[in-house]
Amino acid sequence: MIAVEAVTRVFGSGAGAITAVDDVSFRVERGEVVGFVGPNGAGKSTMLKMLATYLLPTSGSISVDGYDAAEDPLEVRRRIGYLPGDTPLYGDMVVEDLLRFAARAHGLRGDRLEEAVERTVDLCGIEPVRSLRVRQCSTGFRQRVGLSIALVHDPPVLLLDEPTHGFDPLQVIAFRRQLADLKEDRAILFSTHIIPDVEAVSDRVLIIHQGRLLGDGPLAGQAEAAGIPGADLETLFAHLVSTSGDDHGIGR
């Protein structure tokens, strides 16, 4: 459902140009949860913004559910739920009203809108705060509200940027279970630098460093191919970075 082919994104020009994503290719199919892991500044958020059509690639192509992100951005946006890393929300809006606003933006009306709101409130566990203003919610609940907005139109593709930011341990456990339930009929790509989140829920792992994709596949298979069978993700990441010759920094 997600197809990324030789995508590069460069910011700036000339001597000051920065290559944030460098010739990256991967796919995410329906029924998969794929963890996108790398240090801060590795290119994860830039890649997700391109998938969400907020940025265009400098070169290469992106398609979502068969639609080209550059040529048909509105069709792509109809098919994705996107949780940005900074979770931008209207702080003075009541949570329930904000969710209805998001549902209307996706074309839902009448009974369909109300059913979508109730389903999403229950799915994301935001019943305790539905009548509060967003600014009155804890960081963890604001993150859940952001997730509910991404899910309210029941999209087939989810793009989640640092989705467990601000979660307490119980919320993290609940989120991991939720991803397992959601993946049945969706393609899910989530970025993080929190290794346990990736190990707990991912069918495959994309490892990125300094804009370049160093690994793609199930953790066990990548470790085997790297000659360190049984290695955990932290060990595998350190190995791939050191053998890539880019172990002098944490990335752009």
Mean pLDDT to the nearest integer, 208-224: 95
Residue 143: partners with Cβ closer than 8 Å, 6 or more residues away: 87, 163, 164, 165, 166, 167
Instruction: Give me the mean pLDDT over the 112-127 stretch.
Output: 95
Banded model confidence at residue 181, pLDDT cuts 50, 70, 90: confident
pLDDT above 90 for 193: no
Q: Find, among 171, 174, 163, 193, the residue nearest to 87 by Cα.
A: 163
Cβ(179)–Cβ(33) below 8 Å: yes
**Percent of residues, the chain, with pLDDT higher than 90:** 77
CA 87 → CA 83, 148, 214, 237, 243, distances in Å? 6, 11, 28, 27, 35
pTM for this structure? Answer: 0.92
Band (246; pLDDT cuts 50, 70, 90) = low
Q: 216 and 204 in contact (C-beta within 8 Å)? A: yes
Q: What is the pLDDT of residue 86?
A: 82
What is the rounded average pLDDT of the residues 83-109?
A: 94
